[in-house]
Structure 1
């Protein structure tokens, strides 16, 4: 990924790429005018694919993500990670240890320029995060402020719709779901909940 040498310094007004750190941030996300710097300007280029060739997913997991690559207008870091084998890559996944990793716009532009799909990550890890899995499936109350939060409601498309809206808004191509925890065993079985998640 090419990087311009600019004086980033301590300029807190420079736009940066970012993640959403919680289900609450995901619930409350709405597109804003300030997001325009995070929207790629390169569309996904067509590329011939051999249906018999195995597909390669490349995952970027660099020290929690959003390091030097978060600076949209470049940085002064001389040794930034770059990919030398785009021609072998079918999909690129930007991974950080945050709830919702939105790929930095510089990575999405580089992916699209090379005919590679750019994916964000939805992450839940550790059994102390089981309530986050329940929230993903169950969704927020249908009418905030009311008592309609039925604990037996198995599925709400609310968070799935939010994730689709985020991918469309920021111009990347989908999500990798990294689930590293179990479901609560009630009020329905984990098997049923896993089937609902797959849907």
Structure 2
């Protein structure tokens, strides 16, 4: 009888452990900064940005004391893994030629302008291993104000007046990167 009761307790313990383990794994899958992806197609050219979407949650997005994206420091341009941009044909971003490929998108936020960096080293976690020698292009764009407040960091393609731009928006900060697609 002792063996039977011990076996029953062992079975319950195993079931509880399996159930807990499944819940723990599910919780790990739900990142506080979910994955976001935006795409844009012009003729045969496809552009895609994959990024982590951090939320403000009462914190300061940009500033000297910001824990999210401090001014003057290389930022992964989102959360978790470094943001990646893929283009399938040559495009110009803010007048700089970008050949087909996938690149890490880093930025250096500042009060009046941001430095935009496309880096050939992909698959990085954050900007901890950022290597300037791997930069494909680097350019500056002005800081604009968003008409509305954005709680989650948002990346989108905007097409106004026939022009296309890649927009990075968070809190009330709006960064607009002009993109020119080459006609085939």
TM-score (norm 1): 0.25
More helix by share: 1
More strand by share: 2
TM-score (norm 2): 0.26
- Greater Rg over alpha carbons, structure: 2
